[in-house]
Structure 1
Amino acid sequence: MNRFLRRLCVCLTTLAALCATISQTWGHGGGGDIAIFTNHALQQVDIGFAVLDDDDISQEVFDPTVSVFQAVLIPNTPSTIPPIPYSYGTREPGFDSEEALPPLKTLRANTLDLWYWDGAGTVDMQPAASLGITGGYAPASDVTQATGGFHGHPMFGLEGDAIPDGIYIAKVTISVDTLADSNPYYLVTLKNESLYTGDPLQDAEHGEMVGEAVRAYLDDPSSGSPMVMGTDYTFYADAVVFARALPVPEPATSALLALGIAGGWLVSRRRKQR
């Protein structure tokens, strides 16, 4: 029996590691919204990737393994409607749930960490707080619909006296009342003054151009460097790859690991009782 339990522990741990590897490899991020749903087995918030239809109603593409998303920040200007509560911010990607959450409960985005890299050389993320820069979502909280659905585009942004160009990676979890918090996801954002014209719509269009170029490069690096308006954004793609390698166990993976650990504890305890 002990031999069976030991083999079961090894199999579960190996399967968990394989699941984590697959999710990090296939996760592409960007181009859609952050899907939020309930992992009923664990009573936990879960997140993934969703592309919505033209009316922002139904999820036409859904991938529960994605945990890395990307966006280009634009500056706050007097003409921005509604006003951006940060020096630089973005409303993409949004949050979406298809009646998959507890109804009429507070939903909150929690920014746990924020890192910065200037984009030069190899990826070297440093705490953004060391530069006096903070970041997060506004509003940080909202309420799910009576049906359990949710759709919103809170602003993620940065604030500080001087915000240098470069890459900012935020580590975020989602809370919904009555459920355990989600595992973290990573939002990889770019701030680059050369993209900004003073027109928020034009700035957003430039950001979309960069995002599309980087996503195309990540899907097929042989297609050539992601060049936009004379700038090579390979460093942005490198940051996305870096974020994909950060540890984010899927809830199902966490359950397998927990079961494997519990099995190992049981074997150890039986040995001690002999």
Structure 2
Amino acid sequence: MRFTKAFLLTGLACLTADAAAHSDILLRADGGQVVVGAAEDLSGEEGGPFYHLDEKVFEGVFLNPTMPTPPFGYDFERTEPGFFSAPGLPEGEDLPANADIALSLSSFSIGAANDLAYYWDGTGEVDFQPLSATQPGVSFAFGPASFASTDATGAVDDHPLFGLTGGAADGVYLVSPVVSVAGLADSDPFYMVWLANSVLVDDETAEQLEGALEAYEEGGPEPIVGGVNFAFFEEAVEYVGAIPEPSTALLAMLAASLGGVMRRR
């Protein structure tokens, strides 16, 4: 049973795992539906690769193009994380062969607000507000919408371009995408938490920060790069990690609604 893309964030207990930092997004099938998870250490440098389907929160670090004319025209942009699948993996089922893959954004609610994207400037306590209200004219973008196809074995390894347009400010951005694969029902929405900061001007600096964030998650020093302490980004990720999965929130809403009907009867 599939639910609508719009969903409500409630105070229910968290059912998601910790955010999958620095991983690609694993695409698999399960019962005729696309399912997402984490594909980590694909290079095998740390004993991987590792695959698991219990991740529903993913981190992204944008770059701030510094050249006079950015190659893709975004205020911030990055092709990480990517999407990965291969036949015969231990998690889930293989994707169909020669199937188009597309990405779309789902609207979701935080409190009384509903939007396709949310923004927090990184100061004080985590406080995501609708992007359309905090930065009118700024958009979270990706392209192309249909960004890849599986090969004859059902494998894919592709990196769409993510970006922010319209004069985006430094801070943390939250979106909830849905993946479509031809021949399967769409995935449930998942979360992507994105960091945008003007000091992150190239891949080397972004990778330095990603390493610092990973060390910080494991109890290391605060992640200071380019003179900026990015500990607030991990606070944002932890906040999103405490949000229940969309289907869980909707089930609770449906149960509450049905309970009210039964009581009235």
Work out whether 1:72 is the aligned partner of 2:58.
no
Partner residue, 2:235: 238
1:183 aligns with 2:191: no
Q: In the alignment, residue 138 of structure 1 is paired with which amino acid?
A: G
Name the amino acid aligned to 1:146: A
Shift of residue 68 of structure 1?
1.1
The match for 1:204 is 203
Question: Quick one: which of 23, 40, 49 aligns to 1:32?
Answer: 23
SS of 1:194's partner is coil
Which residues in structure 2 correspond to 1:18-57 (within 5 Å)? 21=14, 23-24=15-16, 26-40=17-31, 43-54=32-43
Offset from partner CA, 1:32-83 (integer Å, 9 cap, x none):
210000012xx2100000125339xxx71012111111121113455999x3
Distance 1:77 1:140 in 2: 26
Mapped to 2, the partners of 1:79 and 1:177 lie a distance apart of 39
Structure 2 CA distance for aligned equivalents of residues 62 and 80 of structure 1: 38
Partner of 1:62: 51
Give yes or no for contact 2:60–2:193 (8 Å, CA) kept in 1: yes
- In structure 2, stretches of 5+ residues that fail to align are 1-12, 88-93, 107-115
Q: Does 1:154 align with 2:160?
A: yes
Cα deviation for residue 240 of structure 1 reads 0.6
Question: What amino acid is the match of 2:204?
Answer: E
- Say whether the 8 Å CA contact 1:103–1:148 is kept in structure 2: yes
2:107 corresponds to 1:102: no
Task: Name the counterpart of 1:88.
Answer: 76
Tell me which amino acid in the other structure corresponds to 2:154.
G
Q: In the alignment, is residue 120 of structure 1 matched against residue 93 of structure 2?
A: no
Whether the 8 Å CA contact 1:30–1:93 is kept in 2: the answer is no
Paired residues for 1:130-141 under 5 Å: 130=133, 131=135, 132-141=137-146
Q: Give unpaired runs (5+ residues) of structure 1.
A: 1-19, 197-202
Residue correspondences, number: 225
Give the deviation of 1:172 after TM superposition: 0.7
1:236 maps to amino acid: F
Secondary structure at the aligned position of 1:243 is classed as helix
Tell me the distance in 2 between the aligned counterparts of 1:152 and 1:79: 28
Asked if 1:195 is matched to 2:200, the reply is: yes
Contact 1:110 1:173 in 2 (8 A): yes
| Structure 1 CA distance for aligned equivalents of residues 233 and 144 of structure 2 | 27
Residues in 2 aligned to 1:93 and 1:228: alpha-carbon distance in whole angstroms: 20
Shift of 1:194: 2.5
The percentage of aligned residue pairs carrying the same residue is 35
- Give the TM-score of the pair, scaled to structure 1: 0.73
In 2, Cα distance between the equivalents of 1:249 and 1:65?
14
